[in-house]
Structure 1
């Protein structure tokens, strides 16, 4: 088996030894004159172990590797740190077989529930709605509607991950292969983008089968377009022993309340994404875990590579800065979820099973699920409002103390937002803000007086009194 099959040669190369294709040169060396595993670099021979004694398996592995690497050579290095084509294809494989079309009756039910929820929310918050009904989504529609936001959220993380992978692989690349690979930085960047894209696609495909709407994990994933994932709603309602109409109305209330908050508080989305970006800047990859995982991969079994990717291979070690960013993110998510929990409870007082549904959603958001765990294993970032109940208690206290308008006015500016201390002691929130405001006013008055020259110039103790001299 002196040569690779023609369909496994690099695209655009007529000769496997084409000097313009570093992969052709590399594989030409490996396979020229017949495949010999001993031609492989020592590091790769050690990693393969017993596979070295199976020439047929080695030939198949190298053919697959050549095809994969050649495909990476064709990708655009400037396309970003994530192979989004691969991510989309991987996600589609996860949900496509279980994504039925939506019936007219379901669409009508969601539309009717949207109008009723809008009227109820008008009495529970000063934040106005758009007046438009929620859309009925398939899982594919949810993915398409949220993809732009996922790009914004994950590309900063992917940049750090890919840079770490590229740097580590460059350092570990055998000297005899560096000349053959040419621009190895671009090659490894493409490799990192493909690996990250495959894992991200798996995570998003799992989420697509679990989320109920565009704001189900606390982020405005679909922008200002609200929607309900019909198939996932059906699965969520199974076993609750609550009338379907009530469940639908409660789910619609939560989605609509989230949308009102994100639309009327424009800085909130920026704050959330900024926290994710701050987290991403400190990404650090433990390359020893990658090396250990690679040694356990069975080259003849493609599923072993997928298993490696699904085991949180790139979960980063958190720095102090990341811990602060994560704490900020969790606090913001808790405040959002606490406000929605409280407002929806106010709006849903006419639903007989409202308290049961409220507790169900509290547990669902606080504990997360398989989908959120998948996403957390990808980037080490958990999108959970861990202090949901404390945040709800704070908003309830502010409602009792200030009414609907006073409670919602807290969202007017990011500087007014509650802190962890406020969640610990909600009853003193107002007094702390009044004290802070008073101190600021005193400082502002003193600064104004200073700028106006209202303070006397202090005397220099070294200056003598002229009258004393006389």
Structure 2
């Protein structure tokens, strides 16, 4: 980690806009070791087999048809930062027109904050299914951040091949739900842009934000349900060790986790999984797939906590 280069990149922000994205990229990567990307032939075959097996098992168990993304990449941390910076830029684009006091100072602070965020995530994200929201192209992508997967497997004292396979199943489960719901990326994008635009105008778009949170809870919960039914072996120990790792992090890690809402993401896993488990127990796993037939079938916030209300409304 080159702290001096990271600080220097933020200090060198140019004029115009609320964030200097070139400086964000430079600072995030200067403060983040990219990690080793050397892969043995055995590892390459392992990733291919894990992704293929996950696709086949999820199709069979979930009774859902989907294709893998055209783009599947094994990345180091700098690759991940580069792959995500455009998405972050597009998300905050509506804020560019918001007037600020001391624009140069605000720009430097915003640039530093975004670089810190991307650097932190780049050091911790292990896998990502990317529907490329807010992008001009419509394809999807699947990323595995190799240095992070290796590091966390060692920290948790679990077998690397098993841990790698678990990550692959989880991310391919997201590909399954987005494959089953081709309307979902536009649905999420519209509500995300609406929330940010409202914020730029000094208001909060409550309905759109609630719909976004409910949809994301469904996304996380369905993936958890498929994982539970499709993964070839118990994985409760992996989840417990990851939860313990999150809770035992240092002050900086805990602060960043709180600021980035990572605790909220865990809550989405749990609430969403409980909803889909209840639906599957009541009507069978194929009934849970009805959520992805149309936007109208998405559960509301209230229905997530009371699945019988959703079953009564949708009747899958």
1:277–1:220 distance in 2 versus 1, CA, 3 Å: closer
Q: After the TM superposition, which residues 345-384 of structure 1 pair with which residues of structure 2 at under 5 Å, given as runs?
A: 345-348=228-231, 350-351=232-233, 353-359=234-240, 374=256, 377=259, 384=265
Deviations 1:242-283 (A, max 9, x none): 322221111000111112322432332233333332332343
Tell me which residue corresponds to 1:199.
113
3-state SS of the aligned residue for 2:267?
coil
Equivalent residue, structure 2, for 1:112: 49
Deviation at 1:209, TM superposition (A): 0.5
- In the alignment, is the contact (CA less than 8 A) between 1:100 and 1:231 conserved in 2? yes
SS in 1 for 2:48: helix
Change (3 A) 1:368 1:323: farther
Radius of gyration: which is bigger?
1
CA–CA distance in 2 between the matches of 1:239 and 1:392?
A: 27
Q: Over aligned residues, Cα RMSD in angstroms?
A: 3.8
SS at match of 2:144: strand
SS of residue paired to 1:238: helix
Q: Quick check: 1:99–1:139 contact (8 Å CA) kept in 2?
A: yes
Confirm or deny that 1:414 pairs with 2:295.
Answer: yes
Is residue 312 of structure 2 the alignment partner of residue 431 of structure 1? yes
Q: In the alignment, which residue of structure 1 is the partner of 2:159?
A: 243
Q: Provide the rounded CA distance (Å) in 1 between the counterparts of 2:246 and 2:311.
A: 28
User: Which of 86, 89, 92 matches 1:154?
Assistant: 92
1:138 aligns to what?
76
Deviations 1:361-406 (CA, angstroms, capped at 9, x unpaired): 678899999679548748x998635343232122122223443433
Paired residue for 2:210, among 327, 334, 339? 327
In structure 1, stretches of 5+ residues that fail to align are 1-63, 170-187, 286-317, 438-470
Contact 2:129 2:141 in 1 (8 A): no
Contact 1:334 / 1:385 at 8 angstroms: preserved in 2? no
Structure 2 stretches lacking a partner, 5+ long:
1-7
Q: Deviations over 1:40-66 (max 9, x none)?
A: xxxxxxxxxxxxxxxxxxxxxxxx9xx
| Number of residues of Structure 1 aligned to a counterpart in Structure 2 | 301
Give TM-score scaled by structure 2 length.
0.79
Q: CA 1:214–1:409 in structure 2 vs 1: closer, same or farther (change >3 Å)?
A: same
Of the two structures, which has the highest relative contact order with CA contacts closer than 8 Å and spacing of 6 or more?
2
Partner of 2:226: 343
Q: Counterparts of 2:242 and 2:134 in 1: how far apart (Å)?
A: 19
- Per the alignment, do residues 133 and 357 of structure 1 end up closer, same or farther by CA in structure 2, a change over 3 Å counting? farther
The answer to whether the aligner puts 1:100 opposite 2:36 as a matched pair is yes
Q: Structure 1 residues 269, 150: CA separation in 2 closer, same or farther (over 3 Å shift)? A: same
Q: Does the C-alpha gap of structure 1 residues 164 and 193 become closer, same or farther in structure 2, counting only changes over 3 Å?
A: same
Matched, 1:233 2:116: no
Contact 2:76 2:147 in 1 (8 A): yes
Task: Give the whole-Å Cα distance in 2 for the aligned partners of 1:366 and 1:272.
Answer: 30
Tell me how far apart the structure 2 counterparts of residues 267 and 131 of structure 1 sit (CA, whole Å).
16
* CA 1:391–1:207: 2 relative to 1, 3 Å: same
Deviation of residue 132 (structure 1)?
Answer: 6.4
Select which of 103, 125, 129 maps to 2:67. 129
Give TM-score, length-normalised by structure 1.
0.55
